[in-house]
Amino acid sequence: MEFFRIKKDIPFMKYAFILNVISVLVFVAAVFFLVTRGLHLSVEFTGGTVLEVHYSEPADIASVRQTVSRLGYGDDILIQTFGSANDVMIRLPLRQGVTSQEQSDLTIEALRQVTPDVILRKVEFIGPQVGNELVHKGLLALGLVVAGVIIYLAFRFEWKFGVAGILANLHDVVIILGFFAFFQWEFSLSVLAAVLAVLGYSVNETVVIFDRVREAFRRYRKLNTAEVINHAITSTMSRTIITHGSTEAVVLCMFFLGGPTLHYFALALTIGILFGIYSSVFVAAALVMWFGVKREDFIKDGKGKHDPHDPNAGAVV
């Protein structure tokens, strides 16, 4: 399915150097903010108190947030409904010199001053040890995904494609984390899930372009490497618009209509989708070109002979 077909190839690689210089600058800035500011980790990672309260009528989340914020927590709280509009989950960060029981008592007392019939259903304490374990497991999951992508691309194409693909994907991940560090948006388990999703989503776009590059190398013998890559990217433009446009439409619905629970999850996905398109076109493809990929990488075997399994090996276009 195509919305349109571009007959003349767009010279993407003509601007590859300038755009990759910009990418490097943005990447360095993201690393700088990660080092200097760090991530604003949520209660799942830092530890804290989780309260589940029940209202006789649908809860006013804005009013609940305002009431709890007056206790001195500011924006370092997560309040959301779960199960039904009458049930609310409140996550409070750790406070020095205050026990979990004291936190829950103060919070429920403040809520009952506004709504006397509110019922405290459950109180849980998340220790910092649990938070540290989640951080380590999250980093392990990220590392395994990265290793899997490298192995997949190396077997599917060639090592040059594997290295280019993973550098482009890490570019996306670091920039997402850089945004969260710069603006100090809350980094929660749902955001970590979004980052892992972006890795898989971005590599899918990269694989599509790499497939077209391999196909073009085998088909068009008179084109040089830059022209082959330009043709491959141009031929996927319609598919890119359909795929990413429909995906972003769903993500924007979550962003605007999903409430606080899905806000940062959708935000991370939005940043990842936008930079995923950019990195697949201008980072991954450009790196493959600079790594010296050539037609012989696909149409010859280890002895320099044409691959007998390649139907286009002897064709002249």
pLDDT of 302 reads: 42
**36 and 173 assigned to the same domain:** yes
96 and 234 together in one domain: no
Domain boundary among 95, 126, 157: 126
pLDDT tens, position by position, 156-174: 777 888 888 888 888 898 9
User: pLDDT by residue (tens digit) across 47-56?
Assistant: 788 899 999 9
Q: How many CA atoms lie within 13 A of 154 on its CB side?
A: 9
The domain that holds 61 is classified in CATH as 3.30.70.3400
The structural domain count of the chain equals 2
The CA dihedral of 270, 271, 274, 278, to the nearest 10 degrees, is: -160
Could you report the per-residue pLDDT of 245-282, keeping only the tens digit for each?
999 999 999 999 887 778 899 999 999 999 988 998 89
**83's torsion region: left (phi>0), alpha (psi -120 to 50) or beta?**
left
The predicted model gives 176-204 an average pLDDT of: 88
Tens digit of pLDDT for each residue in 290-315? 998 888 777 654 444 444 444 444 33
Q: What is the CATH number of the domain that holds 233?
A: 1.20.1640.10
Is 7 inside any structural domain? no
pLDDT at 128: 67
Q: Looking at the structure, do residues 30 and 65 belong to the same domain, yes or no? A: no
Q: pLDDT tens for residues 69-126? A: 888 887 668 888 877 889 998 988 888 778 888 888 999 999 999 989 899 988 888 7
pLDDT surpasses 90 at 188 = no
